Structure formats: structure tokens, C-alpha cells
Amino acid sequence: MKILIVGAGRVGTSVAENLVSEQNDITVIDQRPDRLAYLHERFDLRTVQGDGCQPSILKQAGADDADMLIACVEQDSANLVVCKLARQIFNVPRRIARIRSPEIPEMPELLGEDGFCIDSLISPERSVTTYLHSLIEFPEALQVVEFAEGRVSVVTVKVGPKSPLAGQSVRHMDAVFPDVNARLVDVQRNGQPVTQGAGGIITPGDEVLLVGDTRHARRAVRQLHEAEKSVRRVMIAGGGNIGMRLAGDLADEGYSVRIIERDQSRCEYLAAQLPSNVLVLHGNGTDEALLERENIDEMDTWLALTSDDEDNIMSSLLAKRLGARKVIALINRQAYGELMQGSHIDIAVSPSQATMSELLRHVRRGDVVAVHRLRQGKAEALEAVAHGDRSNSKVVGRRVSDIRLPRGAAIVTLVRGEEIIMAENDTLIESGDHVIVFVPTRSQMAKVEKLFQVSASFF
């Protein structure tokens, strides 16, 4: 696929890095030569220096025959204009814009053919806020993503010492959930898979991937990990867009929320915009005296959500040492996140991975409804719709055991109308089923995509 990315900031760079590794033909436009030099040195892609709002620059970058344009400049206005030009002048088939404003998504008349010609919006702030909210709802989980409009949840959780799963064979791990519509898909120990061979015994500390009916997911997760107290008291460091959105959402649901912001004027804005039951504090998340004064040891969850990775790491380590039960840090640099995850920082959240999950469903081939990155981006799970019949589809009319999936990949769940089916070897896939597939490595995704592409006879 030939993809044109306008904007090489934090989001654009992350998008380019992820998509170029999947053998896409990528061209990046930006006005800053230092950003383009960084991308050109590290990745096999083309760069064009200039303003993406200029038709001549878009033409130079190859907009005439691009399959997709992703506009992710820092300014919303520029992204809107770029998508309009891409459609009306170059007829680019798919146009995606990164939008910060919460107002624009609520005005669909601005997005269609009579507006700015945008097919889809991506909002890193919204994606991260939604993801953080799910982690607070599942205090035992390391990662939570949803499919089928929230009806199916995929949860990563660490096995606790008192879990009934500890000491069980991987072969028989589904037996732990006799009365729950859920199943275990994958087990990892120190970043390596635990196989179903003779030594495949689950031990405390292993990370397991659970897929199931969202209504049953909490029960299943608590069987894997000693049930933690429900979260009611939350402290947030950082009053930017993500911190403000999350604080507002949690306060509306009855959580006790405190938010720390170092900028005085921003504090005043937060106090005016947030519900009255959110306590806004002027200060720094790394201020030990402030945290002690605000009873950090009584907090169920600490979230460090500033734009500075180092500050988020240091404040989270401090909060954990001072007694916060669970600490979550927003960390942009992947190397930092992998280093800190599971140490004194319980969960390191990558904004780029959350954004990519939102974007990937537009890049994947076939009728893909949703895609989520798992295990710090190493694995993926996707929801695809099965179309056609046995003559023109590689999955419809076939049993799960007859479908040639890549090694380690698995069809885990089917959503058929109102029914949620945990897939077994003899489960028959029907046209219209929403099929949720786990893929252990991203390099295998192309083979899975082809399974859900119907042949020409379908049309």
C-alpha cells in the first residue's frame, strides 16, 4: 500500500515507524529537515520537505497515486485542509486526520464530501484516555482492549501466587473457567511463550492473555489474580488534555479524583472546567512533601500523564515508594516503557500503541472492524467480518481446525448476532460472523488478512 504521511511529529513518526515495517511504500512530508533526516536515516522510506497544505508539495510526494493519506500535523486546521486537497485535487481514496479538538468529531457535516472530505479521525488523546479508563475499571489487569463494540474483552493479567491457575498445565488451562464464557489464549514467561509441551506448567508471575464476554471478564480475571480492592481514589499528575479528560470522566462516575498541575494558569482553567468534586492542586508530581501532604499512601491508583517521560517515571517511582497501591505512567519512548513495565511501575502506557490500534483497522486488508496491539506492540488481535461462502472465502463454511492459520495464531471468538461463541476446533464459521483472531507476531498478519479477503467471484 502506498501511504502518504503529512507531519513528522511524535504521532507521524510513530505511524511511519509502525507502517514501514509492514512493507508499505511510505512517504513523509514535514517542514523541519531535522525530523525528516531522523526518519530517513532509520527507516526505508521517502521524505519530502515542505508544507503539506501546498498542492505542489503533495504532488511531489506522490499524492497522484497514493492509496491513503494520513494527516497528523500538530494543528487541526492543517490536517483538515490537507485532507480536502487530497480528495478534491488528487482523489486519494482514503484520508485520515489526526484531530485534537473534541468539538470536530461531533460535527459530521464538517467531515463528509461537502466538508473536509475526511474518512476517519484519529485522536491519540481520546484513545489513551479510553485505554487508561479501562485499566482503572480492571485493577488487576496489565492491558485491556475491546472488540465487538465492547461486548468482547481481551485482557492481559499476571498470575498471582494464590491463583487457581498456578501449577496447572497449559494443556488444561481452559478448565479453570467452567462457568465463565472466556478462554485463555496465550501464556508468557519473561517475554517468552510457555508451550503446551511436557514442561508447560503455569507459575506465579506468568502473564496470560484472556479473551471473553465482557460481562464475564471481571470474574475470570479475578480467578487469575487475587482480587484487588475496587478503585475509588485516584491521583493524576499532569493536567493536559489526557489528564483533564480522564479526571472529568472518573469524577462523573463517582471516583474521588485529585489532579496535580505545575502551571498556575492551567490549574485555574482545570478548576473552571472540571466537576466540583475534582480537587485541583498546583504543584509538581515529583514533590515528595506534596504527595505526602495529599495522602498518596491512601490512593488506589496513581497516574503520571505529563508530556515528559522522565518526570512521569520519577513521579511514579516516588508515588510507589510512598505507598500508592498501583502506579501507571505514560511513556512515549518505547525503550523506556519496556524497561519500566512490571518493575516498580505497574503499567507503562504507550500513546503511540494506543494510536496505532485506532489506525490499523484502516490499513489492514479485508473487512477489518478493529485491531489492537498487544505485548508492547509485538502481537496483535483483530476483529474481521467473514463474507461470502465456501466457494469464494477461505474461512466461511469451514471449521476452525480446517483454516490454515500461521503458527501460533488462533481464532478465539466469534460474534454471531447477539451470541458470543468461544471458538473450538469444530466450530463452523458462517458468513457475517465477526471473527476475533490472535496473532503472536506482526509479521504473520498479512497471512491472516488474506484469509478474510474474498475472491473476485464474490462480487
Digit-coded pLDDT (tens) for 281-320: 999 999 999 999 999 999 999 999 999 999 999 999 999 9
Q: Note whether 210 and 255 are same-domain residues.
A: no
Q: Note whether 415 and 451 are same-domain residues.
A: yes
Instruction: Note the pTM of the prediction, 2 decimals.
Output: 0.79
Q: Note whether 14 and 80 are same-domain residues.
A: yes
**Tens digit of pLDDT for each residue in 407-448?**
888 999 999 998 999 888 999 999 999 999 999 888 888 888
Q: Where are the beta strands (DSSP E) in 7-116?
A: 25-30, 46-49, 68-71, 94-98
What is the rounded CA–CA span in Å between residue 210 and residue 438?
11
The crossing angle, in degrees rounded to 10, of helices 241-252 and 124-137 is: 40
Within-domain flag for 129? no
Within-domain flag for 161? yes
Q: Note whether 7 and 90 are same-domain residues.
A: yes
CATH no. for residue 39? 3.40.50.720
3-class secondary-structure state, position 253: coil
Q: Note whether 239 and 325 are same-domain residues.
A: yes
Last residue of a domain, one of 353, 379, 399: 353
- Number of domains making up the chain: 4
Between residues 357 and 1, the one the model is more confident about? 1
pLDDT in the model for residue 171: 64
What is the rounded CA–CA span in Å between residue 240 and residue 243?
5
Between residues 208 and 271, the one the model is more confident about? 271
The DSSP result for 5-23, as a single string, is EE--SHHHHHHHHHHHTTT
Within-domain flag for 200? yes
Identity (one letter) of the amino acid at 356?
A: M
pLDDT in the model for residue 459: 35
What is the rounded CA–CA span in Å between residue 233 and residue 196?
41
Last residue of a domain, one of 202, 224, 246: 224
CATH no. for residue 156? 3.30.70.1450
Q: Residue range 129-134: average pLDDT? A: 89
Q: Which three cell numbers stand for residue 4?
A: 502518504
Q: Is the pLDDT of residue 132 over 80?
A: yes
Q: Note whether 37 and 88 are same-domain residues.
A: yes
Q: Note whether 238 and 316 are same-domain residues.
A: yes
Domain that holds residue 72: 2-122
Q: Note whether 347 and 372 are same-domain residues.
A: no
Q: Note whether 368 and 425 are same-domain residues.
A: yes
Between residues 253 and 377, the one the model is more confident about? 253
Q: Note whether 295 and 403 are same-domain residues.
A: no
Q: Note whether 373 and 428 are same-domain residues.
A: yes
Q: What are the angstrom distances between the C-alpha of 211 and each of 143, 162, 174, 231?
A: 12, 21, 11, 23
Q: Is the pLDDT of residue 194 over 60?
A: yes
Between residues 204 and 55, the one the model is more confident about? 55
Share of the chain above pLDDT 70, in %: 90
pLDDT in the model for residue 456: 43
Q: What are the angstrom distances between the C-alpha of 201 and each of 34, 194, 205?
A: 50, 8, 12
Q: Which of 348, 299, 287 is nearest to 323 (CA)?
A: 299
Within-domain flag for 130? no
The mean pLDDT value of the chain amounts to 86
Last residue of a domain, one of 333, 353, 373: 353
The strands making up 256-261's β-sheet, listed across from edge to edge, are 278-282, 256-261, 233-237, 301-304, 326-330, 347-349
Of 45-54, 112-121, 189-198, 417-426, the poorest mean pLDDT is in: 189-198
Q: Note whether 207 and 304 are same-domain residues.
A: no
